[in-house]
Amino acid sequence: MSERLVVWGIMAGSAALSMPRRLGGQTSNRKEAVMKVRSSLRALKRKPGSVVVRRRGRMRVVNRANPRWNSRQG
């Protein structure tokens, strides 16, 4: 049998990590932030609380005052 193990109809092993929770997959407890991808960050960098950061070759606007405006370019 392959690396997947079927126990009582629920998959275990590496396949369980990629499955949605409703199908028996595992999820992390970390709160996931939604970051939009935009072609231009010019308008967002002018908002109060915005900081422009370069990480891993991508430009990001991180706004701690209002996380709704978090975004990345590239």
Q: 73 in helix, strand or coil?
A: strand
Residue 31's pLDDT is: 56
Residue 62's pLDDT is: 95
Give the residue extent of every domain in the chain. 1-29, 33-74
Residue 69's pLDDT is: 92
pTM for the whole structure: 0.52
- Residues contacting residue 6 through CB under 8 Å, at least 6 positions apart: 12
Which tokens go with 3? 């690396």
Residues of the chain with pLDDT under 50: 5, 7-8
Residue 44's pLDDT is: 92
Residue 60's pLDDT is: 95
| CA–CA separation, 1 and 60 (whole Å) | 45
Residue 14's pLDDT is: 53
